[in-house]
Structure 1
Amino acid sequence: MITPRFSCSQNENSVVVSVYCPSVRASDVEINVDESLFTLHINPYYLRLNFPHPLQEDDEASAQYDPGSGFLTVTLTKAVPGQPFEDLDLLAKLLAPRPSESRSQGPLIEVLDSQAPEESVEDDLIAQTENLSLERNEILEAAENDWQLKQEVPEPLSSLKTTTQERYGFLDMYTGYFQHVGHTENEVNELGADAETCSPAERRTRRVRHEDGKWDEEHYMADFADDDYIQELIRWTHPHTVAQTDFAYTEEENLVMLRLPRKEYLVTASQTHHLYLTLLTLLFAYAYDSRTTQHDPTPESGWTISTLVPAFAALDPAPYSPPPPDGPPATFAPSELAAVFTASYRRALAFPLFRSFALAERCRADVAAVLRGGRRVVVRCLLELKRVLDRHDVYYVYSKIWVDDFCVWAQALASDDALLRLAAAVGALRMEKRFVGWDLEELEGLTRADGERADDSDDESEDEVERMLPAPL
């Protein structure tokens, strides 16, 4: 079945679903409303939407088909007149499956009859006791005499592994995407042919080692000494960091959202916390590429974005600091945010063309501004990042195992309140140059000293030239 293009709007008492289904017979349309679940079937199209509040079928509900435009307009009545329906523009959230109902925590055994059988309960217990093994008899005797048997906490069973493959990607849901990596020109992959079998700890070790190997002091000092163009990039204003009062997704963005996977994510609180942290690395890479290209992606943008995200290049997502003993905090601690941005800063200073700590700081400010825009702006940035990756012959794989799911998750499960708290924490974060571990302050001091000596040398040369000139007549 084909999911048709659609859009949703609302008024005081109704929700209007506009569906593009050209060249169909209106008499064949099947519409069903089950509280908040709306389904539409008209061959070959099928649409299922989960609204945030219940609807009802009454005399006010209607469906009209315009053969000229190919649009079917369905008007649904709100069960509670005047109740606002949130997030009607987040198509992936509407298309997401209905959340699974939690299973009852009641007893697993149903008591059918509580009456005692004809035989004596005592006689039955005696008969069963006689069939017990010697060990069980000892336990019963110990219990009867109130002996204190030694008890130990059982050791947790190690997870059973039936394959050498390791999982990766969004919520560790993927395997097999790098089986033939040796036959593709993936310049980003830092794990090589071991991408499918590297453990998470080994991935992180290889990533850090690769960053240290790619770090170039002379490149950093050269960009620090001659930073006129970098300062121009820093002064540029990203359009998505400016508050928008009339936000609306474009037709192209809506089409991309319709093609996103429809999954139900059963995410724990710890996993949700880690997803927010990983989201920061994606937005940082997007901000760096957008700023250095001034929002006009180049053929190198796919490489730049994939290289700057540790979860792409080394399959190493956040968190990058040890978790607290009592689990992830309700808020975002400065230490864990600093660890996340340290990973992004190191890559921004070791790999791309422009290597500047000040530029990395400006990109972090962009991330905070995007987060302040809420889910809609975050999803727009993710869709733009996805478009860059999807156009590349190799790097599209990172869209499949990370960005697609992030686009769905951000619409359906991310919280605007959490994004605002995260934006405030990222904006207030104080990143120090010593965090990256490459003596940036010392290198900058040496660069300044070299510049001052060069200026003094130029002055002395000018004085020498003046002394050699003949005296004026």
Structure 2
Amino acid sequence: MPITPLFTLSQTSTHILLTLTLPYIRVGDAETLIEGKRLSFSCKSYLLKLNFDDELKAIYDPNVSNGTLTISIPKSVPNTNFKDLDLTTKLLQPKIPKVYRPKIEVIDSNDLSGTDSDDEVFESEVSVLDHLENIEEQERSETKYGFNLGFSNEFRKLREELREISSVDLDLVGWSEKRRIRLALEKSDFDKNRYQSDYFLNTPKFLPHNPEGPDMLFTSSMSYVPFYLDITSQLTSLKLSPTDSTTLTKIPNTPQTITSTYPLNLGLTSLLFSYMYDLRLTAGEPNVESAWNVWKLSAVMCYFESYHSERDGVRGVLEDCCRRAVCYGYCRSWELCEKVVEDLIVVVKDRRFVLKCLIEMRGIFERSETLYLMNKFYLEGYLVWVQGEEEWGEFGGEVEEVWRGLGRDFGRFRGGLGLGLREAEEEVDKSIEDVEEEDEDEDEDEDEDEDEDEDEDEDEDEDEDEDEDEDEDEEADEEDEGED
């Protein structure tokens, strides 16, 4: 099977430059074939196919280390800015026009009112068979998982590896049962005392009662400025690095039949939230715990959750994200959850922000002994799909609309997590109020005691003054008697 060579693309005002990394090749074995808009490059063990618009010419540069082949592609219209040259997987995809089948197809417009009953019976039988096939397909999809529900029977192949990252048999348990198990565990795993402790430590109004101050990791997480916020504040755009483009080139471009993008966007929301939570927690420097953090906080990866447009929505996914963050995150703070959702709104609107996050996630999982399977099940599929998706940004607008639209319903949203967060916080507030009242009572008692002490001191001073006056009078009387 031929190897796709590593390549990068750049452009000038008049040309696009394609640079191929081909170490130890014979120049004479290289062939470049132009067929209309397609460029095919082949050399022993290597094959690359790209689509461009104009005539091409190849120039070999032997001076670059390890050998590179530079192909100069003239632009049909000079000074035209070619977009997405850094999305290498997208360039490798063939240009296949999308065909949308009509939902209702007219077979014959003739009047069939005079047909015999056999045709009606046949049509009825066909509709029943179609219905049974739909039920069978739905049952089969119950045990599918991964990107675009593209995997099944993997638990039997990778039983030992998957046992460490899934507590249920993915090939036997359907999505509804997995969701029931997940929600029950999240509710039982919620540590109320831990949440209240973080709430007390990291809430500014409690600082007078917290001499140690807030958690330093929480403080740094809240103040950290991720790359996407830094770029957005500078009103610039992100360009993927050559290393990122090389990573995209290595990802298998497996064809996918995607019937609906909305479930994919919902799953992507779960992945991005968990990554951005860890990004803030580690200040952009992933550590040995990052793979576990990202995996654990995402219901999609930890429980192979599959969201569907007909029964789920953005609000439901955000509830799952926030619930898992306060159940399993290091900083179990609702304030941090809000911060991460604000990050999510920025990232999901920009294709390259999303790609950069997914590439970093892939690198994190690649270094894990067991969680590397997340790349196979989710990350690689998402990286290919995000590059090729034509319409981008609309879903990000929906995420923002849902989050901003909570407004007065925000308390109900938190209540929808089913963890009693508001009640837990109110208990802390009440206990602090009680402590403050006790302190006030003690202060009042101390003031009263001080007043009493002052009164006693004044009385003693008056008594001493009276005694001194009496003594002086007695001495004066004695002196008078002596003179007499």
Where on the TM-score scale, by shorter chain, does this alignment land: which range? 0.7 to 0.9
- Do residues 216 (structure 1) and 215 (structure 2) align? no
Say which is worse superposed, 359-368 or 293-302, in terms of deviation.
293-302
Contact conserved, 1:214 with 1:350, CA < 8 A, in 2? Answer: yes
Task: Quote the residue 2:172 is aligned against.
Answer: 197
The one-character-per-residue Cα deviations of 1:302-340 (angstroms, maximum 9, x if unpaired) are: 1111111111111112248726xxxxxxxxxxxx21111
SS state at 2:364 partner: helix
Contact conserved, 2:7 with 2:21, CA < 8 A, in 1? Answer: yes
Aligned partner of 1:435: which letter? G
- Do residues 65 (structure 1) and 55 (structure 2) align? no
Identity %: 23
Task: Quote the residue 1:177 is aligned against.
Answer: 154
Contact conserved, 1:164 with 1:197, CA < 8 A, in 2? Answer: no
How big is the shift at 1:146?
10
- Do residues 281 (structure 1) and 281 (structure 2) align? no
Separation in 2 of the partners of 1:342 and 1:82? 47
Separation in 2 of the partners of 1:443 and 1:353? 18
Contact conserved, 2:13 with 2:78, CA < 8 A, in 1? Answer: yes
Q: Say if 1:182 and 1:86 are closer, same or farther in 2 by CA, change over 3 A.
A: closer
How big is the shift at 1:263?
2.1
SS state at 1:449 partner: helix
Task: Quote the residue 1:23 is aligned against.
Answer: 24
Which has the larger Rg? 2
Q: Say if 1:461 and 1:188 are closer, same or farther in 2 by CA, change over 3 A.
A: farther
SS state at 2:365 partner: helix
Task: Quote the residue 1:263 is aligned against.
Answer: 254
Say which is worse superposed, 362-371 or 154-163, in terms of deviation.
154-163
Report how many aligned residue pairs link the two structures.
416
Contact conserved, 1:375 with 1:415, CA < 8 A, in 2? Answer: no
Task: Quote the residue 2:109 is aligned against.
Answer: none
Aligned partner of 2:331: which letter? F
How big is the shift at 1:299?
1.2
Task: Quote the residue 1:332 is aligned against.
Answer: none
Say which is worse superposed, 62-71 or 152-161, in terms of deviation.
152-161
Equivalent in 436, 451, 473 of residue 455 of structure 1: 436
Task: Quote the residue 2:107 is aligned against.
Answer: none
How big is the shift at 1:233?
2.2
Task: Quote the residue 1:299 is aligned against.
Answer: 288
Separation in 1 of the partners of 2:352 and 2:100? 33
Task: Quote the residue 2:54 is aligned against.
Answer: 55
Equivalent in 343, 354, 357 of residue 366 of structure 1: 343
Contact conserved, 2:228 with 2:347, CA < 8 A, in 1? Answer: yes
The one-character-per-residue Cα deviations of 1:209-228 (angstroms, maximum 9, x if unpaired) are: 11112112222111111112
Separation in 2 of the partners of 1:357 and 1:89? 37
Contact conserved, 1:96 with 1:264, CA < 8 A, in 2? Answer: no
Task: Quote the residue 1:7 is aligned against.
Answer: 8
Say which is worse superposed, 280-289 or 83-92, in terms of deviation.
83-92
Separation in 1 of the partners of 2:278 and 2:188? 23
Provide the TM-score with structure 2 as the length reference.
Answer: 0.76
The one-character-per-residue Cα deviations of 1:249-308 (angstroms, maximum 9, x if unpaired) are: 23332222121111222222xx21111111111110011111111111121111111111
Task: Quote the residue 1:446 is aligned against.
Answer: 427
Separation in 1 of the partners of 2:369 and 2:116? 75
Q: Say if 1:214 and 1:46 are closer, same or farther in 2 by CA, change over 3 A.
A: same
- Do residues 398 (structure 1) and 374 (structure 2) align? yes
How big is the shift at 1:12?
4.0
Separation in 2 of the partners of 1:375 and 1:145? 57
Q: Say if 1:366 and 1:426 are closer, same or farther in 2 by CA, change over 3 A.
A: farther
Task: Quote the residue 1:94 is aligned against.
Answer: 91
How big is the shift at 1:26?
1.7
The equivalences for 1:80-229 within 5 A come to 83-99=80-96, 143=114, 152=124, 154-155=127-128, 156-158=131-133, 160=136, 166-179=143-156, 183-184=160-161, 188-191=165-168, 194-227=169-202, 228-229=214-215
How big is the shift at 1:56?
2.9
Provide the TM-score with structure 1 as the length reference.
Answer: 0.78
Q: Say if 1:149 and 1:236 are closer, same or farther in 2 by CA, change over 3 A.
A: closer
Say which is worse superposed, 387-396 or 417-426, in terms of deviation.
417-426
Equivalent in 268, 285, 298 of residue 309 of structure 1: 298
Equivalent in 236, 239, 257 of residue 224 of structure 2: 236
Q: Say if 1:435 and 1:43 are closer, same or farther in 2 by CA, change over 3 A.
A: same
Aligned partner of 1:313: which letter? C
Q: Say if 1:148 and 1:34 are closer, same or farther in 2 by CA, change over 3 A.
A: closer
How big is the shift at 1:97?
3.9
The one-character-per-residue Cα deviations of 1:124-144 (angstroms, maximum 9, x if unpaired) are: xxxxxxxxxxxxxxxx9x947
How big is the shift at 1:464?
6.5
Aligned partner of 2:264: which letter? L
Separation in 1 of the partners of 2:13 and 2:183? 56
Query: When you count helix as a share of all residues, which structure comes out higher?
Result: 2
Separation in 2 of the partners of 1:43 and 1:357? 57
Aligned-CA RMSD value = 3.4
SS state at 2:132 partner: coil
How big is the shift at 1:434?
1.4
Q: Say if 1:3 and 1:232 are closer, same or farther in 2 by CA, change over 3 A.
A: same
Separation in 2 of the partners of 1:321 and 1:210? 25
Separation in 1 of the partners of 2:117 and 2:136? 39
Contact conserved, 2:7 with 2:246, CA < 8 A, in 1? Answer: no
Equivalent in 232, 245, 256 of residue 254 of structure 1: 245
Q: Say if 1:400 and 1:465 are closer, same or farther in 2 by CA, change over 3 A.
A: farther
Q: Say if 1:455 and 1:144 are closer, same or farther in 2 by CA, change over 3 A.
A: closer
Q: Say if 1:341 and 1:423 are closer, same or farther in 2 by CA, change over 3 A.
A: closer
Unaligned runs of 5+ in 2: 103-111, 203-213, 458-484
How big is the shift at 1:393?
0.7
Equivalent in 383, 386, 411 of residue 410 of structure 1: 386
Contact conserved, 1:236 with 1:294, CA < 8 A, in 2? Answer: yes
